[in-house]
Structure 1
Amino acid sequence: MNKTTYTIGINLYRFLIKLAAPFNKKAANMIEGRKNWRQKLKNSLNDVNQVKVWFHCASLGEFEQARPLIEKLSGKNVFIIVSFFSPSGYEVRKNYEKADLVTYLPFDTKSNASDFIDLIKPDLVLFTKYEFWHYFLEELNKQNIPTVLFSAIFRSSQEFFKPTGDFFRNMLKKFDFLYVQNEKSKELLNSIGLSENVEIAGDTRFDRVIDACNSVNKISLVETFKGEKKLLVVGSSWPEDIKALLKFFRSLPEDVKVIIAPHEISEKSIEKLKKSLPHNAIRYSEASENKIESTESDFLIIDNYGMLSSVYQYGDISFIGGAFKDGLHNILEAATFGMPVIFGNKNYKKFNEAVLLIDEGGAYPVADSDETDALLKKLFNDNKERERISNISYDFVRKNKGATDQILKYVEKILYSGHD
């Protein structure tokens, strides 16, 4: 790929998003949210005289990685700008109280990048995990604005490390510093000539989930639902995950209850999920203390966003969705409370935390409903073994903390000591 091909690809992508907008809510949000962005930025940044730090996140998962850094900087006379590429991040966090400005990132064209950076005039820019936008990185480099990539993880199959990957390698070289999650990522960057400005810091999400665990909110309805029974929490599930769990659900042990937080919470998706379950299920939005006690339901469906991380505190075992589909969702939110973590075996290997937790003995990939059923019954029946694995998960999260403070030292050096 070269610059011309890249530019054509970006413009084609933008054109296709516009075509899809009348028929697709996500595409419509992407277009609507970016309307008049120049004027919106001018209005929001009028008379701002503070040091400005810009965090860019692809979506909601990357925001959770940025969040520990944002919250450490919040209140230090720093104006914090958070941009998202995806609606699934922007729509959920557009009113995030620790950021002074939350915006969509314009599509990556030369004029958009130049105008966006001229309008926000950041003193420091932090890109989260990935998202490599050529014109934005080129303009930041041209204006000598310090730019950092953090919580990054690389694989040898990526374009950066292929013989034809010069265009992508040049994007990486625009960063002033790169904080990576593991030794393999550092070795890969070293192999393409990046060494002096690369450091292993780990993943800031470990710090985020520990903070969330320490300040978790109690949920009385969930406490009532669980009662004295054991609890399986199914987080961010897709239909493929439910299919793998159905055999266990059909012969659910009498001392086990299940909470399911589906990834999609549209009315159609929730009703389809309810109908697929072998026992009566109650929706959280329709639940009350009396209704939970009177129905004696074994299944509670969380039909809202934002509550799942607090629900995990009640879990004895977790099943995390996504790995039978496009990719595994966040396992650390569950692991931080100490419990065995189970997920599909199809698409998890690019998630470093999943591979590491499997190696430690705290997580288990499963292939199908038979394997899932056998594993869950074994773990629920063996309290001692379940407790042993739970301790592994709990300790795993805590021994990997610290990335935020490591990166923060560099951030504060740039902000308060001037550029090197």
Structure 2
Amino acid sequence: MFLLFYFLISPVLLIIIYISLPFNKKIRVYLNKKNKTVHHVIDALSKINRKEKKVLLFHAASAGEFEQIQPILNQINRKKYFIIQTFTSPTIYNVAHNNSLFDVCCYHPLDVIWQSYSFFKKVNPDAYIVTRHDIWPSHLFITRKLNIKSYYINANLHKKSIWIKKILLSFSKSVFNYLDFCLVPSENIKNKFLQITSKQKIHITGDSRFDQILNRKNCNQDLNFLPSTYDNSFNIIFGSYDEYDVPIMIDSLINYYPNGAQSLKDLGHKIILVPHEIHEKDIQKTAKKLQRNQFKTILYSEIDFSSSQECSLLIVDKVGILADLYKHTQLAYIGSGFYDGVHSVIEPAVYGNAVSFGPNIELLDEAKHMYHNQLGFMIKDKNDMISFFDLHKQKTRLNQIHRDVIQYVNHNANASEKIIHFIEKTI
């Protein structure tokens, strides 16, 4: 009943999308190029022998999801499989459409029943593979009707998810009834999915995000992203913080380092601030608050790597290097835990950082695991942050945390291989 209602209202959502065209450039780009990219895929498929190669269609709505599946794409036997990659966001499509990890790519159809049918009927992949949170009812319904195997990899479900709201449970069970396989990272997430789908569909294969982050570490291990002055100091990083983290971040720094730059120098500490969004106005506002309390701030864009200039409090105004900065730090506070959910805790853990975060950790199974196993520290107020800073005085404990978090990350490696093996034996 609910599923039928969804199919009936989805055209209304399509009308709303078209109405928004004059105001949304990304939607205009998507709609203007979608059909052309799909024709490109159909043309490429006409040139292969479908009896010799099976076709796998991977979907990644955004750049983050594409990063998660890259370790999987990198290990697939291209002699046996033809890879189609679909995107929703023009941003990641423009960056990645020529990537060698797949054979061809196109924009993914909107979740409207006739668009979904037209797309999957023409492309007709042997498997349709989605990741993380990107489940759409019409696509699953159509792939089932066309006998296309569907896989939900790195599947995640948290207690506040709309899929397990009581009012939507019947709808959720209907949607997941059309899914063939649900590949989850852990026993904990498996138990959550049992609320909406059968035990036979759920399989624990791990999370390919661990492989992606480990691969990045291995590829960039010889690169240095900070001046050599950071090699001999104790470095604390605030990674991907948002406006809700700023008050506690600034208050704790002012309290722990009462003389600002001089306190940092006396202790041999350096601070690195990396905002989630790079907005000059917000960065300047943060810098001025710290400067009023005797801190000397410098922007990443102002660093002279050829000199030994002192930069004890660095504010990073460059996108894309946060994951690599963790190799230079010992303590890491990960942002957004006071708002919509903490960001990646695996990135600092892979380098052995002691990791802390705000109280909203429900979205990340690994954050919950780290917290409940004393590998991560929950920050609820300024006093918690100060206690976290005090770890620099506890060398033995800090070294044990370093070993334990690296062991935890390594224990969760090789999920990509398990996911590929499962797909190969069930396709």
- Residue 202 of structure 2 corresponds to which residue in structure 1? 198
- Asked if structure 2 preserves the Cα contact closer than 8 Å seen for 1:379 and 1:386, the reply is yes
Q: Is the CA contact (8 Å cut-off) linking 1:354 and 1:363 kept in structure 2?
A: yes
The match for 2:131 among 128, 131, 134 is: 128
Tell me if structure 1 keeps the 8 A contact 2:30–2:89: no
2:354 alignment partner AA: P
Following superposition, the deviation at residue 267 of structure 1 comes to 3.6
SS of the aligned residue for 1:214 comes to helix
Contact 1:361–1:392 (CA<8 Å) still a contact in 2?
A: no
Within the candidate set 184, 208, 216, 2:220 is matched to: 216
Map 1:134-283 onto structure 2 (within 5 A): 134-155=137-158, 158-161=161-164, 162=166, 164-192=168-196, 194-250=198-254, 251=257, 253-254=264-265, 255-278=268-291, 279-283=295-299
Q: Which residue of the partner structure matches residue 115 of structure 1?
A: 118
Q: Where does residue 318 of structure 1 map in the other structure?
A: 332
1:78 to 75, 78, 81: 81
- Secondary structure of residue in 2 paired with 1:390: helix
Query: How many matched pairs?
Result: 408
Question: Which ranges in structure 2 are unaligned for 5 or more consecutive residues?
Answer: 258-262
Alpha-carbon deviation of 1:219?
3.9
- Could you say which residue in structure 1 is the equivalent of 2:6? 6
Could you tell which deviates more after superposition, 151-160 or 197-206?
151-160
Q: How many Å apart are 1:55 and its aligned residue?
A: 1.4
Asked if the contact 2:172–2:196 (Cα under 8 Å) also holds between the matched residues in 1, the reply is: no
User: Quick one: which amino acid aligns to residue 181 of structure 1?
Assistant: P
Partner of 2:365: 352
Summarize the Cα distance change of 1:207–1:20 in structure 2 as closer, same or farther, 3 Å threshold: same
Residues 97-136 of structure 1 show CA distances to partners (whole Å, capped at 9, x for unaligned) of 4233444433210122122223433221111122221111
* Counterparts of 1:4 and 1:180, CA distance in 2: 28
CA deviation map 1:188-210 (0-9, x unaligned): 44455512222122222122222
1:5-47: per-residue Cα shift (whole Å, max 9, x none)?
4246544555555555655xxx432342332311222124423
Q: Does 1:342 align with 2:346?
A: no
Does the Cα contact within 8 Å between 1:58 and 1:130 map onto a contact in 2? no
Q: Is the 8 A contact 1:221 1:289 kept in 2?
A: no
Q: Which residue of 2 aligns with 1:369?
A: 382
- Residues 19 and 47 of structure 1: CA distance in aligned 2, closer, same or farther (over 3 Å): closer
SS state of the match for residue 395, structure 1?
Answer: helix
User: What secondary structure does 2:130 align onto?
Assistant: strand
Q: Is the CA contact (8 Å cut-off) linking 2:227 and 2:305 kept in structure 1? A: no
Unaligned 5+ segments in structure 1 are: none
Structure 1 segments, 4+ long, off by >6 Å, are: none
Kindly state the Cα deviation for residue 344 of structure 1 after the two structures are TM-superposed.
0.9
Q: Deviations over 1:72-97 (max 9, x none)?
A: 11644533233334566556645544
Larger Rg, first or second structure (1 or 2): 2
Q: Are the structure 2 counterparts of residues 16 and 344 from structure 1 closer, same or farther at C-alpha, using a change threshold of 3 Å?
A: farther
- Is 1:386 aligned to 2:398, yes or no? yes
- One-letter amino acid of the counterpart of residue 152, structure 1: A
Root-mean-square deviation (CA, aligned residues, Å) is: 2.7
Residue 108 of structure 2 is aligned with which of 96, 105, 109?
Answer: 105
Q: Which has the higher mean CA deviation after the structures are superposed, 134-143 or 241-250?
A: 241-250
Q: Is the 8 A contact 2:14 2:112 kept in 1?
A: no
Are 1:153 and 1:182, in contact at CA under 8 Å, matched by a contact in 2? no
What is the distance in 1 between the residues matched to 2:252 and 2:363?
28
Cα distance in 1 for residues equivalent to 2:405 and 2:280: 34
Greater alpha carbon shift after TM alignment, 227-236 vs 157-166: 157-166
Does the C-alpha gap of structure 1 residues 115 and 220 become closer, same or farther in structure 2, counting only changes over 3 Å? Answer: same
CA apart distance, 1:71? 1.2
1:411 is aligned to 2:423 = yes
Calculate the TM-score normalised by the size of structure 1. Answer: 0.87
TM-score, normalised to structure 2's length?
Answer: 0.85
